[in-house]
Structure formats: C-alpha cells, structure tokens
Amino acid sequence: MSVAVNGDYFDWGQITIDVDGVRYDNEFTSISYNETANFTTLPGRGRRPKGRTRGKNEYDGEVAISREMFPDLIRQLGGSNWRNKVVNLTVNYGFDDDPSNAQTDKLGRVKFHSPKNEHENNEEGLTVTLSLSMLDIIYDGEDENSRL
C-alpha cells in the first residue's frame, strides 16, 4: 500500500498503532511529523553570546485516515475517551518492494486530537485528519539508547 510520509509518496508503506501492547494496522493515507529544537543563547561579556543551550524539543504532526475507517480507530482507542489514549506509532516505508530497504520511524507516546473532516468534491474518498501530540520521534537508524 502506498502511503505519503512527510509529503513524499513511497512505493509501499505501513503505519501501525500499538495500543496497550496490541498492534493495529489501519488504513492511514498519509502522515507527517516533525521535530523542532528551541535553542537559547547564553549572554557573555559585551554584545556577543558565549554559547547556546541544547534547547527543548517539540514534536507535532498529523495523520489522515479514510472516513470509513475512522470509527474503527475510535473503537481501538477505547471509545468516547479516545483523545486521552496514549499510543505508539510505527511508520515503515520504502522505495522498493524489498523489505531490506525499509525505513522505520517510531513516534512515542502519541495522543490524537483535533479531528478535521475533509469533504471535497473529487475522486478521492472522504478523509479525517487528526493532529498528533507526541513526546518523541526515533528516526530510522537512530539508536534510542544513545539519545539524551
């Protein structure tokens, strides 16, 4: 299945949700996520700063799911309390049908919020876009044990 990851369409992709240790594969059509570091400069003598802090990271993103699969997602997340459910997302994607070329990003401690219905008069199906609030992103090849 082709999935758009951060605006790029790959030959294949899969987005998996881990809810309380149970994995679900939904029919997400696209996902985007980013990491922002807010650095602060440290004042020195005179007009020049003497350094900068490591900053605080902020993570955000959004995911699109077909309108017909949205109720299934709500059920998987526990029904009426779905906005408070903390889950982990795994995003697998690649350019070839060969799984050895796969890249895997892990989005940690994610909450879904702010559903936005996209009703356009076109050939594509109806979608619901959900904003993501997350506490970590581990990119492919990054060692999660060496992170600070």
- The domains of the chain, with CATH numbers, are 4-35+55-138 (2.30.110.20)
Write the pLDDT tens digit of every residue in 7-39.
Answer: 888 877 888 888 878 888 877 888 999 999 888
Question: What are the φ and ψ backbone dihedral angles of 15, each rounded to 5 degrees?
Answer: -120, 120
Model pLDDT, residue 116: 92
Cα angle 94, 95, 98 (rounded to 5 degrees) comes to 75
Model pLDDT, residue 1: 57
Supply the pTM of this predicted model.
Answer: 0.81
More confident residue, 50 or 143: 50
